Structure 1
Amino acid sequence: MTDIAKLEWRGVRKRFDDAPVLDGLDLSVASGRSLVIIGGSGQGKSVTIKVAMGLVRPDAGEVLVDGKNLIGPGLKWGGGRSRRNLFSRVGVLFQGAALFDSLTVWENVAFRLINADGVSRKDAKARAIEALARVRLQASVADSHPSELSGGMQKRVGLARAVVANPEILFFDEPTTGLDPITSAAINELIVDQVRGLGCTAVSITHDLASARTIGDEIAMLHGGKIVWRGAPAELDRTDNPYVRQFVDARADGPMTSVVQER
């Protein structure tokens, strides 16, 4: 009997202004595994995870969690129960952390607990402080505002918010963008710690190959709306796949050259 994937995209298609972004995407992630999606700009990485999170509806195809389709024909889109159930099972670290400037750090971390899960503010603050400790931030920052924190600290707050409800699936959108190499390495280490500690499934998108090698059990390359290569991080340097070689070696010439020139 074949194990059911924790998360799966089947034949997913999405167009914007008649331009195909995802073109029959087939991809799956096993339970407890960390998958990193790499690829050039404009190749659909963000759309891939937005479809999985229920933020973008595909034109065709299926997204399955534990083998159950969340967006097929006849399933309600928007406020549907299947979509609400999905939101209760996932955590997201957005690019740039995406914190609410008007809220304190602990209120940012506890936003979901208070507004979706019905947790009291007292209990939510206690859980937020626990989550901050997990990303190595002291309780003293809880009553600060995001503007008082460095970029690296803001990213840690975003990570605390992503893990505070102990999700089954974590999404990471360019987790190290805008950070210096030392801070990036620290964030990568925290991501690995949280994914392993929770035993959850993780999907990340990144241009940062150092990050991809650190946080991924597997890496998949997206090009032309499809997966053109998939393998272990160590295989990045061994594969002769022309798309991977051009991307990893940062070459201007290769199968992606025409796409770069057209854009």
Structure 2
Amino acid sequence: MLIVDSHCHLDHFVGTEQEDVVARAKAAGVGVMVSIGTRLGEQAATVRAIADRYEGVFCTVGVHPQNAGEAPVPELGEILAEADHPRVVGLGESGLDYFYDKAPRDVQQLGFRRHIAAARQSGLPLVIHARDADADIATILEEEDALGKFPFLLHCFSSGAELARRAVALGGYISFSGMLTFPKSDAIRAVAAETPADRLLVETDSPYLAPVPLRGKRCEPAYVVHTAAKLAEVRGLGIAALAELTTGNFHRLFNRAR
């Protein structure tokens, strides 16, 4: 069985620790990992170098909404230039985070729209971070979709069912993290049960959100198998069938991950 961790932060693991984490993931059957960008410049260079270093590891580049106020909002050409690398298979993570509100909301929104424009022009999928901003995320997605289609993924889904439905209607995908396994995550499991089968992905968002039965530990890509097992249970599938389904969905969306 091979499975994909569609969202992890391998740059949080350094030196031999990083090598061990990647090795444990492969031993667990995780054939592909995507290491996510959160800033341009030095951080983007770091995730590109990680993707170059390991077979089966790819990356994205972009500016996380929590970091959107640290520098001027990047121009479209700047985002596209950072993405011009054979191991870059997506953009982001970008989006809106009104929970932490670490950047002004208008700045977050402008950055989000710039990343959408880059996804539209490049064809690379945009990895979207959505936290306590469902209405604005949905509105921006719909407004931008009217200007031209673009591929996207709502990662680490923890939003309401209405955002999920509106995103799927636009052609979006939804990825579930270890939060799916938490005892109080009934609402997330309900969304996972209703999401069309061809739009489902799994991830760890490691080093965060370790799934049950590993809560309290530092999360790593190998743990995605536990989230996959819970998603399989929710969907009434065997784990092998779920792995095949989500891996196929991943490669359809991230079609440069070869």
User: Normalising by the residue count of structure 1, what TM-score does the alignment of the two structures yield?
Assistant: 0.39
Indicate the structure with greater helix content: 2
Compare CA radii of gyration and give the structure with the larger one.
1
User: Normalising by the residue count of structure 2, what TM-score does the alignment of the two structures yield?
Assistant: 0.39
Q: Greater relative contact order: 1 or 2 (C-alpha under 8 angstroms, separation 6 or more)?
A: 1
Indicate the structure with greater strand content: 1
